[in-house]
Structure 1
Amino acid sequence: MKKYVAELIGTFWLVFGGCGSAVFAAFVSVPGGENTNEFGLGYLGVSLAFGLTVFTGAYAFGHISGGHFNPAVSFGLWMGKRFPGSDLAPYIGAQVIGAILAALLILAIAHGAPEFQLTGSNPLATNGFGEHSPQGYSIISALLAEFVLTFIFLLIILGVTDKKAAPGFAPAAIGLALTLIHLISIPITNTSVNPARSTGVALFCGDMALVSQLWLFWVAPIAGALLAGFLYHNFFEDLSRPAVIPDGE
């Protein structure tokens, strides 16, 4: 059970840290006034928050569960022959539960602010396309962005965790990669590349239109991850084994 609990807590931390920064700190609101970004985190700060959750979570739990915190990562590692298929369902279940618990906590804390309302195109830091894209990007744009960015994300994960990669740097590289991914795609979809992250906040956003768009944030990231796992294992991975040298030679 240790690895499943680690995945639950790690995903909780990712959603609470990343989505929480977007809900609480991306824009500073003065009671009775209008939102201002003068002292808020903005896109850059939220991007860093997501990267830092993976950076810290992977160092804390990577040695226990591998530090997936994301169903797409689990699928990509499975396709890359790095993860057993028998663990897919319990890992994904733990990840989704962790994301749901984080979303509930964000909502509970946010309701303590007198001006808080579940309004706007992306309430509770949800993901979306069309009218629920932060900048109005279409469904095709959202599909392309989520597919390609998750594909690259998994190639990075598989590369920095390769047995020939420099040891000890994987969490830093993965966290920085997730930061860059958010810098690119927050305006497009509010950045998912993580079906659990999308699901947790969507369930409590109060807008069924956003729930109905969840399919894209499962299909595109998982498809991109599967392609990355297949490509890395069959093209980049060094499957050779050193020859055994008999004693005395």
Structure 2
Amino acid sequence: MEDKEEDVRLGANKFPERQAIGTAAQSQPEAKDYREPPPAPLFEPGELTSWSFYRAGIAEFVATFLFLYITILTVMGVNRSPSKCATVGIQGIAWAFGGMIFALVYCTAGISGGHINPAVTFGLFLARKLSLTRALFYMIMQCLGAICGAGVVKGFEGSGRFELLGGGANAVQPGYSKGDGLGAEILGTFVLVYTVFSATDAKRSARDSHVPILAPLPIGFAVFLVHLATIPITGTGINPARSLGAAIIFNRHHTWDEHWIFWVGPFIGAALAALYHVVVIRAIPFKSRS
């Protein structure tokens, strides 16, 4: 009996280091550990058989559809008024674009990441945040959603009035050159994609738990500010799907003549933002060497 009591007494102190670790864990708050997430594979065949993959694509389609529906209707309302001050004006257009991005990113971030923009998808792909398979699928669904959204607006407005009001299509405005338009699209998209990287940075999320919750706010606000700056220059594209959807439904020669600007500019801006974030801000290539 005494031997058993001795064993119990010794057993309680057999692993004192474990008891110390347990005590420390209880007395100190749990530290947030951060590990650099591995790069996404270039091609992931397993995605093609996963329902979550297609669900994410559908979410991108619906979000881009709603985005074009609300924003192009807002543009139509401003252009319809003889005096733009009688409606929401340019500030209202900017708020419509920024506000919809804020709402839609909030709604879809947990499903697809809330890209709603091929330029954002392209930038995240270059940073190896998603596979080429998913990136191409997202871009296709975004473009289809944009076409449908602009088409519904044309159905509401009627063909004649829709075309008279410009269809919400992007074009370089009088007084500006194509080079000016390209530069505005590059810089505007850089601001947007740079904000996306900063607002969704996994390292910041590990340090500040509130960052993922607030991510849609700075992204939407960046869209708002870019529109304020560049609506007078190009009507503000910074989203190839938005420009494509409006151009296809409007379908006028001068729109197609300058349409390349609204693909080349955003993709260059997104690539520069991805390079800046990965190399300068996060210094990931230098970390991998050490």
Kindly provide the amino acid, as one letter, of the partner of residue 203 in structure 2.
K
Question: Structure 2 matches for 1:68-147, cutoff 5 A?
Answer: 68-111=115-158, 116-119=161-164, 123-129=166-172, 133=173, 135-147=174-186
**RMSD across aligned positions (CA):** 1.8
How far apart are 1:238 and its partner, in Å?
6.1
- Post-superposition, which runs of at least 4 consecutive aligned residues in structure 1 deviate over 3 A? 238-241
Q: Secondary structure of 1:168's match?
A: helix
- Structure 1, unmatched stretches of 5+, are 30-34, 242-249
The superposition leaves residues 155-210 of structure 1 with CA deviations (integer Å, 9 ceiling, x where unpaired) of 11100100133231110110000000000000000000000000001112141221
Return the match for 2:192 from 130, 145, 153.
Answer: 153
- Larger fraction in helix: 2
How far apart are 1:27 and its partner, in Å?
4.4
1: CA distance, partners of 2:228 / 2:182: 17
Aligned to 1:222: 267
Kindly provide the amino acid, as one letter, of the partner of residue 49 in structure 1.
A
Q: Name the larger-Rg structure.
A: 2
How far apart are 1:38 and its partner, in Å?
4.2
Kindly provide the amino acid, as one letter, of the partner of residue 37 in structure 1.
K
2: CA distance, partners of 1:18 / 1:171: 17
The superposition leaves residues 59-117 of structure 1 with CA deviations (integer Å, 9 ceiling, x where unpaired) of 111100000011100000111222222212111100000000001001010118xx825
Kindly provide the amino acid, as one letter, of the partner of residue 26 in structure 1.
V
2: CA distance, partners of 1:199 / 1:27: 20
1: CA distance, partners of 2:79 / 2:247: 20
Kindly provide the amino acid, as one letter, of the partner of residue 203 in structure 1.
I
Q: Are 2:279 and 1:234 aligned?
A: yes
Kindly provide the amino acid, as one letter, of the partner of residue 277 in structure 2.
Y
Asked if 1 retains the 8 angstrom alpha-carbon contact of 2:178 and 2:258, the reply is no
Asked if 1 retains the 8 angstrom alpha-carbon contact of 2:191 and 2:226, the reply is no
The superposition leaves residues 192-242 of structure 1 with CA deviations (integer Å, 9 ceiling, x where unpaired) of 00000000011121412212221111011001101211221122126569x
Question: Structure 2 matches for 1:1-249, cutoff 5 A?
Answer: 1-23=54-76, 25-27=77-79, 29=81, 35-111=82-158, 116-119=161-164, 123-129=166-172, 133=173, 135-165=174-204, 166-237=211-282, 239=284
Kindly provide the amino acid, as one letter, of the partner of residue 20 in structure 1.
L
2: CA distance, partners of 1:187 / 1:136: 10
Q: Secondary structure of 1:214's match?
A: coil
Asked if 2 retains the 8 angstrom alpha-carbon contact of 1:70 and 1:92, the reply is yes
The superposition leaves residues 9-57 of structure 1 with CA deviations (integer Å, 9 ceiling, x where unpaired) of 111122112122101x22454xxxxx12343011000000000111000
Q: Secondary structure of 1:187's match?
A: helix
The count of residues paired between Structure 1 and Structure 2 equals 227
Asked if 2 retains the 8 angstrom alpha-carbon contact of 1:5 and 1:94, the reply is yes
2: CA distance, partners of 1:234 / 1:190: 32
TM-score, scaled relative to structure 1:
0.86
Percent identity of equivalent pairs: 32
Structure 1 residues 80 and 119, CA gap change in structure 2 (3 angstroms): same
Kindly provide the amino acid, as one letter, of the partner of residue 141 in structure 2.
A
TM-score, scaled relative to structure 2:
0.74
1: CA distance, partners of 2:55 / 2:270: 25
2: CA distance, partners of 1:47 / 1:213: 22
